[in-house]
Amino acid sequence: MTTDEKQRVRLVSTVEDDAEQRMRRMSRRSFFQGAVGVAFVLGARHWIDTRRMRQELPWPLRRALQVNEEIWHDFASTGHLAPTFHPSAIGHARTNGDVGLDNMQDIASWRLKVRGLDTSNGDPDSRDFTLNEIKALPAYTIITQFKCIEGWSYVMSWRGARLADFMAKYSPALKTDDNGNPLPPVHGVPAYPDFVAMSTPDKQYYVGLDMQSARHPQTLLCYEMNGRPLTQEHGAPLRLIIPVKYGVKNIKRIGHIHYTNRRPADYWAEQGYDWYAEL
């Protein structure tokens, strides 16, 4: 072997030894960093799990969920529409959720009980409505995707009256100033209360809506599905369809509506889910 060849061999050997040493150092460092990362995650998880509970969740998770709620609520607007579909996309409706639907509803005797109405004209603050009174409002048909919080969805055709039209005809009591005078409209919108509470006739299932979502142009008091009256398992005779929110907010068999300035209780929010349930 010539002198040059020997030098090349020594050079290659030196480079290989140096590379091997660096790889070992990197491996030890990577292992150490990974171990620290795992320890941090496990420690953080243990710390979160041992915090006091707030509405079925450890308070750090509840705080993060509340921040997320507020961010999404700020982005929500009546100009944001859920996608609509061609009739050919309509699928098979899945039956899910029966809280508040135990008793078969006699449609002829059903009434929608509404509280918190405007009394400035001497009218009472509560009233019962028949299905025919709701059907007398302008009817709208939308074909939208119903999305369950469990992860499944289907496209369906819904027909009913806009909740915004119902409120325009049968106005909620407006907010007032310190002297009891109704506040003026803001950007053409009456000074309605901040929230709408809804529940089934037996009050076993209940949801809360922010007023902006309630007034959304796709929010319907729905009485037909795929061109036919609602079935019992899908909320006959009247249900809510609000396609900008998950299905947990689309309450079946509405029996009560209450306009209020206090954020209402919500069945699934009490189980730890997002109160707004925005899509």
Confidence of residue 1 (pLDDT cuts 50, 70, 90): low
Those residues with Cβ within 8 angstroms of residue 251's Cβ, 6 or more apart along the chain or in another chain: 100, 198, 199, 200, 205, 206, 207, 235, 239, 240
pLDDT at 128 over 90: yes
CATH superfamily of 80-271: Oxidoreductase, molybdopterin-binding domain (3.90.420.10)
Share the mean pLDDT of the chain. 85
In this predicted model, what pLDDT tens digit does every residue of 46-79 receive, in sequence order? 676 677 765 455 656 555 555 555 555 555 556 7
Helix (H) or strand (E) holding 113: strand 112-115
Question: CA triplet 266, 63, 207: central angle to 5 degrees?
Answer: 10
pLDDT tens string 4-36: 555 665 655 665 667 677 767 766 666 556 555
Domain boundaries, the chain: 3-50, 80-271
